[in-house]
Structures are given as C-alpha cells and as structure tokens.
Structure 1
Amino acid sequence: MTYFGVRHQAAAASAREHRRDVRTERVEAYSAFIESAQEAHDALIEASVVAQDLGSASDETELLEDAESLLEHLQAARSAIGTAAKWQAKLLVLGPLGLAESSHNVLQALRAHVSAFGGIITGLTDRVDGASYLREREDELRQSWADTFGSFTAQAAHAVGGGEISQ
C-alpha cells in the first residue's frame, strides 16, 4: 500500500469512529431528555389529580395537605424540566438543529402546563376555585404535550437511525 492509501484508510477509519461517537452522544442526550421530560409530565399529571381533589377537601387540614402535595408535584415537575433543559443544551451542540428546535417546543409545552397551575395557587390564597381555570385548559395543555413530545421522539428516532431532521 502506498503512503496515500494508508493515509486515506486511516482518515476513513477516523471518520467512522467520529460518527459512531457522535451517534452515541446523541442517543445519550436524546434518551436523557426524553426521560426528564416524561418525569415532568408524570409529575404534572399527579398535580392535576391533586388539583381536582382540592375542591373536595373536608376541612382546612385536608386542604393544606392537598395544597402541599400539589406544590411538591409542581416542584418535581420544575426540577425535571430543569434537567431536561440541561440536556436540551447538549442537543443544541449535538444537533441536528431541527431536533433541538423540537426539544424547545417540548419544554415550552411543559412550562405552559406548570404556569396553568398558578391560578390554583392564587385561588387557594384568595379562597376561590382556581382549579376551574386548569380544567378549562387541561385538554389543550395535554394535546400540546402529546404533539410536541411525539414530534420530538419521532425525530430523535429518525436521527438515531441516520436520517437528517428537516427544519
């Protein structure tokens, strides 16, 4: 083999190894993002269940216990969203750009769902039914989550399979 042949073979092997390393990093980041986003969504579902029970509290003690449980679920959701946002930063570096944009939409949907609970918290302090606002938006919030999360996971699967993501 000539010098140029050996050099080309080494360059090709290096390129294959680099692609494999990038793919491994992407799979790790995609998986961690999906896991964190799912944890946030699960916590929001639990918070929704607790929020529905707020109106049926039989006394102040039960109301306070339910409110504390609601706040714990919301904190768990915020924490998981924070973790997902950290993985999203890695997705921005690893690409592809379309997938990074899709991850942004997932985080926006989760944050909108968290913010919808603000009416419940305000309602507790003002002694009004803040859960009605959440009930009105629940279908919209769940559909937004389903659409954005489904799009992200489909794009991630496509990217892992070697396809490129359209923007």
Structure 2
Amino acid sequence: MQKSIIYEQARWRVWLCLVSDFSSDFLNVIEDIEEKNSPNQDESQDAVSTEITPQTAKAQTKPPEGEAVLQIELFFLENEVELFQSEMPNFLPFITLYQAKKILWDLRNFQILVEPALQEWIDTHINAAEVEAGIVQEAFLMPPDEIAQIAIEQTMDEAQGQQIKTAFFETEAAAWLWLNSTLES
C-alpha cells in the first residue's frame, strides 16, 4: 500500500492510499502504519507528494494504479463549526479524481460536538455528495469522547448516510482490516 498526503490545511489532511494487492504481508503494513501514527511520530518522516488542490483535481485525468482509498484526518476544535462547514466540501473532488469508493475518516482529534443541526448538514452536504460520487464504504476512527462517538454514529444514521456501509473503530489497524475484508464487495 502506498500512502501519501495529497492535500493539507491547518485543520484537516487528505491522504491517498493506493491498495494494489492485499497479500499475507498486509498485517505488516498495518503494523507499520500503527508505528508511524504513534505519539512519538516524527512529522518530518511523513511522505508528502505534490499537493493537488480541489481546483486542480478536476484537471487530473489519469486514474491511480490500484484501488484508491481516501484517509481524511480532521483536527477541528470545538468552536470551529463554521470553518468545518466551509472546508469540508473541499475534499469531494478527490473522490472523483482518484475514483475512490472508500474513505477512512480519522476523527481521533476531532473536537466538534456534532449536534442534530450539524448532523443534518453533514448528511445533506457531505454524505449526499459522497453517495453521488460513488462512495460505498466508510470506516471511522472515533474520538475518545463517548458523546462525540454517539453523535457521529447518529450522523451516519441519517437518510444519505444509510446508503454508505459504515463501521466504527478505535485503531487504524482494525479499520484497515475491515476495509481490506470488503475490498471485493
């Protein structure tokens, strides 16, 4: 699996994960991911590719080699709901560009409490666009707060969210194993 940052802002980052072959070595790849994401991670060791902005994404036409899975990390603070709403649609062009069918959402550092009005906004503006773009499966790395976890699960229970197969995890390894187990679906 190749993994590189394709877009980064102050409060969120999009990784492109190209999965060309899941073999018996897959568990080793997962262990490497867990080690790189440990608290002692050296930020300078991140693999960074040429950044593609949402504006230039539409101009790119060559599909990736292997299955593309987007991994999106969110770092929004609890008082940044408006910033969240203005920024989130910016990842949507990457779904089409890389013909992604799956997303791994990393919400471990996401601090916004997703209240009912925001749940509805996400369903209308994000989930609906994901379904239209072809997303069929999403794994969620959950924040530590139990109330935040419930709110995120409720968001995916909204009308558009129900059209996407979802699962919720505490570790990145478990999320990747679930995505791997359903690559053929």
With the length of structure 1 as denominator, give the TM-score of the two structures: 0.29
**Greater helix share, 1 or 2?**
1
Q: Which structure carries more relative contact order (alpha carbon 8 Å, separation 6+)?
A: 1
With the length of structure 2 as denominator, give the TM-score of the two structures: 0.27
